[in-house]
Amino acid sequence: DAKTTQPTSMDCAEGRAANLPCNHSTISGNEYVYWYRQIHSQGPQYIIHGLKNNETNEMASLIITEDRKSSTLILPHATLRDTAVYYCIVRIIQGAQKLVFGQGTRLTINP
């Protein structure tokens, strides 16, 4: 699976949009971009995934650049409960399906 690069930590004010970047410059054509988050002492929670089109669900939006070498997860109105470590992962759909976690971005939402 392709390696991803994320900032170690970020801060965001409550109520503002949180934009979390992820670089995946070696992504191949059959690899998807996945985002998970882990709130302290809990299991990871699936957020969203995409291949090349932008995606939106009730939790977040995923913006993937045209060359697919980077993406941004957007939490439109961050709340204190969004404080967590956010993981960007790229992987193919078929095959072993295992997820390889990097260090992620520790997002802190401030009141």
Contact string (CB under 8 A) for other proteins, positions 49-88, x = contact: x-------------------------------------x-
Give DSSP secondary structure letters for the chain.
----B--SEEEEETTSPEEEEEE-TT--TTEEEEEEEE-TTS--EEEEEESSS-EE-SS-EEEE-TTSSEEEEEETT--GGG-EEEEEEEEESSTT--------EEEEEE-
Nearer residue to other proteins within complex by CB, 54 or 103: 103
Q: Does 35 bind other proteins (CB under 8 A)?
A: no
Which positions lie near other proteins, rule CB under 8 A?
A: 32, 36, 38, 41-46, 49, 87, 93, 96-104
